[in-house]
Amino acid sequence: MDPRVEKALTADVDQRGRLLLAIDENQWYEYKGSRVDQKVVARALVAFANAEGGVLVIGLDDTDGVEGIDGVSADNQTDWRSAASLRVVPPIRVETDEVECVNADGKPDRLLVIRVPASEHVHNASDGEVYVRSGGQNLRLDFEQRRALVEERSGFLFEETPAAGDLSELIDPELVRGYAAAAGFSGAPAVEPGTDGPAGTSQLEISVTGETAGGAADVRRTLSTRRLLTSDGRATTAAVLLFGRDPQAALPHARIRVTKYRGVVRGTGAGQQLDRDEQFEGPLPRQIEAASKMVDEVLPRRTALGDDGLFGPVPIVPSEAWREGIVNAVVHRAYGMAGAYVRVSVFDDRIMIENPGPFLAKWSGADPRELMPRPRNPKIARVCAELSIGEDLGEGVSRIFSAMSQAGLWAPYYEWPQDWTRLTLWGWSGDVAAERGLKPHARRLLTLLRAEESLSTGDLVKLGEMSRTTTLSHLGDLRDAGLVVWEGKSPRDPRAYWRVSGPNGRKRL
């Protein structure tokens, strides 16, 4: 629950409504006006229960302010209270309360407060639709998203599902033997972490090419040891993704797409700024290595002081940060989401890394480093860690933050649009101190402006998924901090727009 909401609910009666309205609707808080119907209330309750829980307050409106509920009929109030049991399947156990307040007319009134706990089950509204709370929105899920949510709640792991086909046809034995050597399994030539393996090959090269000296490790035993076989000896999805001869035959979406754009925006149509576009398939270790090689080739450089004490070209984003971001995206993505692949977009000022599936974790605030990690693909994560591709320690996000901080760059920016995870790594420092105290919604608006160069207030309302009042409030905070500039001839100028201040904010011609 949002502690600010609880604090506002216990404030002086004449201040409660005003304080509650001043809190932005977010992952754990929503308010509705006194004219809301039972169906809308049910959607909000379903969304909270399917996410992290939250508080719904009825009697507050963006336009009319503190309305209260005393002017609402008893039947309507009963409808609100019964929504959790009559309009939600299965019913939700909620805590309903009334708190005193002073309405916009200065008269004593009441607010209805409904506290919704996070549920272990998947709930839907009585019309069959499933909603999940994401940021300040209640998102309706499609079929694939609903399936993913059910799998998450049931403890189901897509990586453990059996792959169709014979083990010998699906799995490349040389890849498995290479992994056995890198992981130090009995009967395989040991490879010390950070050293070269047989014939001078690195651990990752061993896992990809299978160039081992001897390579006598039993494939089935190795896969079984890491529980990459089902109880009846069939290869799991994880085994195919890691060691498959052709993983994309069964999972065509299990790939990485890397795109390089000229400038700082994608552009559309004739103005598209696409410079290079490649897709990488094959086993996951091979994908990561090939995609990382392209990113390193196309990533812009700037002149800076290097570790050797000399000035020279260095990447705008440290390799430790973007490589960890790619590894996390591949290892922890939702492979059960058909048609969705990992996307890496390289611009002149940033890298964006996107993968299907939000974090599977309990999040206590705006800092992703507070996440208690719960890997979506623990078996894939372990094998990749043993290949020194990543570390199965739940510290990937912290390492990205550390690399960006050491380079003097803006902190990594995470977003969760619907059922995706998006990481943006900015390649310039700007005023880090001014940005540090920003609220999450203000940070999102700043990110949108950096990506699009300039946007109107209406554009920011739509893209930021906030009300106009909330958007303008955050834009005012950004302007006061010297981070953005408003360009216009008058408050009603239809061509007015917002842009990032300084040399990186470009005026429209």
DSSP 245: S
* Ranges assigned E (strand) in 374-463: 413-415, 420-426, 454-455
**Strands 124-125 and 256-261, bridge-based pairing:** unpaired
For residues 138-163, give the mean pLDDT: 81
User: What's the N-to-C CA distance of the chain in angstroms?
Assistant: 46
Burial of 497 (0-12, 13-18, 19+ CB in 10 A): buried
**Residue 13 confidence (pLDDT) above 90:** yes
Q: Answer with the residue of higher pLDDT: 115 or 415.
A: 115
Report pLDDT for 230: 92
* 91 and 84 Cβ atoms separated by less than 8 Å: yes
In the chain, what are the domain boundaries? 3-141, 158-246, 247-429, 431-509
**Residue 241 confidence (pLDDT) above 90:** yes
Rounded Cα gap, residues 121 and 153, in angstroms: 6
Token duo for residue 398: 């912290």
pLDDT tens-digit map of 103-135:
999 999 999 999 998 887 899 999 999 999 987
Amino acid at 498: W
Rounded Cα gap, residues 377 and 367, in angstroms: 23
Backbone angles phi, psi at 470, to 5 degrees: -65, -40
Secondary structure (3-state) at 439:
coil
Amino acid at 105: D
Q: What is the full DSSP assignment across 129-190?
A: --EEEETTEEEEP-HHHHHHHHHHHHT--GGGSBPSS-HHHHB-HHHHHHHHHHHT-TTS--
pLDDT tens-digit map of 244-269:
999 999 999 999 999 999 987 777 66
pLDDT tens-digit map of 419-441:
788 999 988 765 556 666 777 77
Q: Which fold has domain 247-429?
A: Heat Shock Protein 90 (3.30.565)
Report pLDDT for 107: 97
Q: Answer with the residue of higher pLDDT: 272 or 383.
A: 383
Rounded Cα gap, residues 345 and 259, in angstroms: 5
Cα separation values, 96 from 25, 57, 60, Å: 19, 10, 16
pLDDT tens-digit map of 42-54:
999 999 999 878 9
Backbone angles phi, psi at 295, to 5 degrees: -55, -45
pLDDT tens-digit map of 345-399:
999 889 999 999 876 554 434 566 665 455 678 889 889 988 888 765 557 788 8
pLDDT tens-digit map of 304-357:
766 667 778 889 999 999 999 999 999 989 898 878 999 999 998 899 999 998
Q: 10 Å Cβ neighbour count for 436?
A: 9
- Residues 6+ positions from 346 with CB-CB distance below 8 Å: 258, 259, 260, 261, 295, 298, 299, 300
* Ranges assigned E (strand) in 81-147: 88-89, 95-102, 108-116, 124-125, 131-134, 137-140
Mean pLDDT of the chain, nearest integer: 84
Considering the four listed CATH numbers 3.40.47.10, 1.10.150.120, 2.60.120.650, 1.10.10.10, the one that applies to the domain covering 431-509 is 1.10.10.10
Q: What is the full DSSP assignment across 269-287?
A: GGG--EEEEEEE-SSHHHH
Cα separation values, 33 from 44, 86, 109, 389, Å: 13, 21, 14, 51
Report pLDDT for 271: 66
Report pLDDT for 214: 35
Token duo for residue 52: 């992290």
DSSP 422: E
Backbone angles phi, psi at 335, to 5 degrees: -75, -15
Q: Give the class (CATH, top level) of 3-141.
A: alpha beta
Rounded Cα gap, residues 243 and 225, in angstroms: 15
Amino acid at 80: W
**Residue 499 confidence (pLDDT) above 60:** yes
- Residues 6+ positions from 155 with CB-CB distance below 8 Å: none
**Residue 219 confidence (pLDDT) above 70:** yes
Report pLDDT for 176: 93
